[in-house]
Amino acid sequence: MRTWIVAGNWKMHNTNEESVALAKAIKDGVSSLKNGEVVLAPPFTSLYRVAQIIKGSSISLAAQNMFYEDKGAFTGEISPVMLKDIGCTYVIIGHSERRKYFHEKDADVNLKVKKALALGLKPIMCVGETDEEREKNVTRAVVGRQVKEGLRGVDKIDNVVIAYEPVWAIGTGKVATPAQAQDVHAFIRAILKDIYHDAAAGIRILYGGSVTADNISELIAMEDIDGALVGGASLKTDGFLGIIKNIAGEK
C-alpha cells in the first residue's frame, strides 16, 4: 500500500537559528512512524543545518525549488546536484507561488521533474486550479493539463509525488472539502492510470491548502489522499506534530 507523507513547506521563513530550533522540536516529537514519512522543506539557506539535525532520524529533507541544469552560468540558481550533495531526498517543483510570482510554466516544471528524477531526487510536483478557474468549471482541464505536461516524457513514475493544492486554498484558511479534494485526487489518479497503468496505484498524491491538525483527519480519510503538503501550520511545532499524529492515526 501507499505510505503517507507529511511535508512541511517552510517557504521564505526562518533564519538558521529558527530553522534549527523548529527541526529539533519536530525531530523530538516524531518518534516511530508507522507506514509514513515526514519531510521538511526549509529555505535553501537552512538546508545544511537542518540536514545535520535530522541525520539518522526518520525525517527526510526537501528543497522548495531547483534549476533544471546540473551546473553553469545561471546566477542565483541552485542545482539538483547541490541539493543531493547537501542531503535532500525530495524537491518541491511547480508550487503555485513559483508559477504565479516567478512565471514558471508547465514546460519548466517538466524540465525540472525530469532532471530531478535523472539525478535521484524525488519531485513533489504541485498542481492546482485558481479560484477563477474553479468558478469557470475548468478545474479538471487545468489540473489535467498540469499533470500531463509536467510528466511529459517521464517513463517511470515510481519516485514522483504529486501535490494537489487548489490555489484558492493556499494560505487562505479556505480548505477544500474532503469531497472536493477526493474528486480531484481520483481524477489525477485516473490520468496516471491511463499513462502508467498499474504503477498509478502506488503513487502518493498529497493534498495542500490550509491544512491544520483540525481539518486533516477528514481529508486523510479519503481513499486517494495520501498525505499533506503543509505551509503555515508547518511553522509551529504543535500544529505540525498534530497533523502528523492525526494522519498516522488514520492511515
Least distance to ligand PGA, CB of residue 217, Å: 16
Binding mask 95-134 for ligand PGA (x = CB under 6 A): ----------------------------------------
User: Which residue out of 97, 129, 133, 165 is catalytically annotated?
Assistant: 165
Between 65 and 210, name the residue whose CB sits nearer to ligand PGA.
210
Rule CB under 6 A: is residue 244 a binding residue for ligand PGA?
Answer: no
Alpha helices in the chain (DSSP H): 16-29, 44-54, 80-86, 96-101, 106-118, 131-135, 139-150, 178-196, 216-220, 237-250
Between 38 and 230, name the residue whose CB sits nearer to ligand PGA.
230
d(CA 74, CA 72): 6
Between 80 and 232, name the residue whose CB sits nearer to ligand PGA.
232
d(CA 240, CA 230): 8
Q: Which residue is nearest to ligand PGA (CB)?
A: 231
- DSSP letter assigned to residue 169: G
Q: Which range of residues in 23-31, 60-68, 103-111, 203-211 is near ligand PGA by CB under 6 A?
A: 203-211
d(CA 76, CA 8): 24
- Tell the residue number behind the cell numbers 499524529, with chain if given: 245
Between 30 and 169, name the residue whose CB sits nearer to ligand PGA.
169
d(CA 106, CA 114): 12
5's enclosing H/E stretch is strand 4-9
Contact 96, 171 (CB under 8 A): no
The correct pick among 63, 211, 225, 243 for binding ligand PGA (CB under 6 A) is 211
The correct pick among 210, 213, 216, 241 for binding ligand PGA (CB under 6 A) is 210
According to DSSP, the β-strands at 59-63 and 205-208 are unpaired
The correct pick among 104, 208, 243, 246 for binding ligand PGA (CB under 6 A) is 208
| Active-site residue flag, 165 | yes
Residues forming contacts to ligand PGA in the complex (CB under 6 A) are 9, 165, 170-171, 208-211, 229-233
Residues classed as catalytic: 95, 165
